[in-house]
Amino acid sequence: MRIFKQSGWKRRGLALAASITTLLLGVGLYVAYLLATDNFHAVDPGKLYRSGQMNPETLKNTIRRWGIQCVFNLRGDGNSDWYRGETNVLESMGLPHHDFALSAGRRLGVAEMDSIVQALKAAPKPILIHCNGGADRSALVSALYCYSILEEPASEADRQLTPFYGHIPYFHWRYSVAMDESFALYVQAHPHSNAVQNGPSPEH
């Protein structure tokens, strides 16, 4: 009887280990997919796309394939090689480039988010927005777009801030929950998605 119990526990332990291994393998493969595709996704097909940082050649091909008319860089930093490579591509193609110096660990004020929404409204479409990995800052701006411009309910717009795009607040060294807090603050300030006027709102 004791041998039977031990064998049962052993089988359950092996099954659990196999399940965990399969899960980790699946997560690893999905992360590899996000990296291989620069975390590129359509937010509003034909109007807004989101991604991580692309190299110049990939960016050029993406612009041509999807008809991108404007790029929003959410990383700031005008002195890096990646920035010069990106702006050179946009300049050579005659397309506008907008810079916003956001940090995944810094909560944005309502006025700052209002200015981003107004820039999204005014920019030629389709727009490509990007940060470094495409998981956090791009997620927030995508959620703002969905809430304020597409007028989606907050619960639907918030889906832009999910692990599907690599956004995992509190995960080890990442403190990207500031992006979730920023979106919650924006929704609180604008309980109706069409409440954003032509001018920025006061800080909350």
Q: What is the pLDDT of residues 39-73, one digit of tens each?
A: 999 999 999 999 999 999 999 999 999 999 999 99
> What does the pLDDT read at residue 169?
79
Confidence check: pLDDT of 177 > 50: yes
Mean pLDDT of the chain: 83
Mean pLDDT of all residues in 191-197: 60
Query: Letter for the amino acid at 79?
Result: N
> What does the pLDDT read at residue 22?
42
One domain, residues 125 and 27: no
Tokens matching residue 196 = 């954003």
Residue 204 in domain: no
Confidence check: pLDDT of 112 > 50: yes
One domain, residues 62 and 132: yes
> What does the pLDDT read at residue 70?
98
The 10s digit of each residue's pLDDT in 134-144 is 999 999 999 99
Residue 202 in domain: no
State the Cα–Cα distance between residues 30 and 48, nearest whole angstrom.
23
One domain, residues 73 and 93: yes
CB proximity list for 178: less than 8 A, separation 6 or greater: 103, 104, 105, 106, 107, 108
DSSP sequence for 133-193: SSSSHHHHHHHHHHHHTS---HHHHGGGSSGGGT--TTSTT--THHHHHHHHHHHHH-SSG
One domain, residues 159 and 102: yes
48 and 125 Cβ atoms separated by less than 8 Å: yes
Residue 57 in domain: yes
> What does the pLDDT read at residue 21?
45
Residue 189 belongs to domain with CATH number: 3.90.190.10
Residue 201 in domain: no
One domain, residues 71 and 119: yes
Burial of 69 (0-12, 13-18, 19+ CB in 10 A): middle
- Structural domains in the chain (count): 2
The size of the chain, in residues, is 204
Tokens matching residue 186 = 């924006």
One domain, residues 105 and 188: yes
Residue 9: DSSP 8-state: H
Strand order in the sheet with 70-73: 41-44, 48-51, 127-130, 70-73, 97-99
Confidence check: pLDDT of 125 > 50: yes
The 10s digit of each residue's pLDDT in 10-46 is 555 554 444 444 433 433 433 444 445 689 999 999 9
pTM of the model: 0.79
The 10s digit of each residue's pLDDT in 82-97 is 999 999 999 999 999 9
> What does the pLDDT read at residue 11?
59
Residue 186 in domain: yes
One domain, residues 132 and 185: yes
- Residue 18: give the domain boundaries: 1-36
